[in-house]
Structure formats: structure tokens, C-alpha cells
Amino acid sequence: MARALSRIKADLSACRICETRFAETATAHAPRPIVWFNTAPRILIAGQAPGMRVHQSGVPFDDPSGDRLRDWMGIDRATFYNQDRIAIVPMGFCFPGYNATAADLPPPAICAKTWRTKVLDTIGQPRLMLLVGGLAQKHHLRVKTGVTQTVADWRAHISTGLPLPHPSWRNTGWINKNPWFTAEVLPELKRRVKEALND
């Protein structure tokens, strides 16, 4: 198992399948896969893709959205970044870049197609999966609903994963508009995170 983990980490870190695509974005950046997992994690966070700050630091959720996600989960940075306990496996492992209007581009579908099953098969089934954002929710839950409805229906999906909105500051308005999320989902999230991390 250790050999398989080392191999996939090395192969994924060396991936350059999107090199030409990224060079043609407004940021004209090179691929930098962010690899953050070990085998047998207690919790798996399935998000969308790293942002520019994470691309630069090499640390997932190393930004205000990460601060908010840790607060939602009720854990500190040390716990969050313990790869033996929490794996972070986004739909795209590299920063996809910005378009001409400085909006985030979606991760190329070839990334998940190439790597996702290999990574998940290698690390094994977590006790809890957090599905952060619409792409991860559509992939894992096979839903056609938007984020609001999917998160509102979290009880129907919990056996697969707990759907969450992205913790970006851009979603502050969504959080304020949907007070049920803070009142109902966040306490359940904290409870399940604590339970999953319990020895």
C-alpha cells in the first residue's frame, strides 16, 4: 500500500497534461498539482480546484475560504492539515487559471477522468466525505440540482457525502440568504467531523 501511495503521489505531482491549456489562459501559468492525501483518511474533502493563492503556496485551502471551512468543521489548522486524518482531493488538482475577465475557469474534465478513481482507490473509503461545491456534488451524487437544493437535501445524500457550498467569501450573500444552512447544516457538520476524527 505504501508503494502504491508513493507511486500515485509521484505520478500526480509530475502530471502536465494541461500544460498547453494553462499556458493559453490569462494567467499563462504552468501546472502545479496540489497533492494532499495519505491512505485511510478519516475525512475526505472533495472540492473544485486550487485557487491562485494555493497554486503559489502549494497548500490546499491556504486562504480565507480555508479559514471559513475550518470554522465550519470546528477544527484547527493542525488537524485540518494532518494528511493521515484528512485528505483533500479536488475535482482538478491544479489551478485552472482565469479567463480574460479575471473569473475562475473550471477545472479541465480530463483531470478528474485521469486521476480521480486512481486516487480514491489508493487511499480507500473515508468515514466522512465533504462535497464542497457543485462540481463535486454532481460527480459524487449524480444530481442535476443546483448547490442550494443539493445542500438543502443533505439528509438524502449523507450516506455518500455531506454537500456544502463553497466557503469562498463570494458566497457570503448565499449564506446570509439561506440561514437554514448555519442553523441546521453546520451543527450537523461539526458533529459528524468530530465523530469521524474520534479514535
What's the pLDDT score for residue 103?
82
Encode burial over 167-198: b for 16+ CB neighbours within 10 A, e otherwise.
bbeebeeeeeebeebeeebbeebeebbeebbe
On whether the CB atoms of residues 74 and 190 are closer than 8 A, the answer is: yes
User: In 16-133, where does DSSP find H-type helix?
Assistant: 19-23, 52-57, 64-73, 77-80, 109-123
User: 146-198: per-residue pLDDT in tens?
Assistant: 999 999 999 999 999 999 999 999 899 999 999 999 999 999 999 999 999 99
Query: Domain locations in the chain?
Result: 2-197
User: What's the whole-number average pLDDT of the chain?
Assistant: 96
Q: Which three cell numbers stand for residue 194?
A: 468530530
CA–CA distances in Å: residue 121 to residues 8, 68, 96, 124, 125: 11, 29, 24, 6, 8
pLDDT on residue 94: 98
Dump pLDDT digits (tens) for 33-87.
999 999 999 999 999 999 999 999 999 999 999 999 999 999 999 999 999 999 9
C-alpha cell at position 27:
494567467
Query: Which residues make Cβ contacts (< 8 Å) with residue 28, sequence separation at least 6?
Result: 22, 97
Residues 6+ apart with CB under 8 A from 98: 25, 26, 27, 52, 104, 105
> What's the length of the chain?
199
Q: Which CATH class is domain 2-197?
A: alpha beta
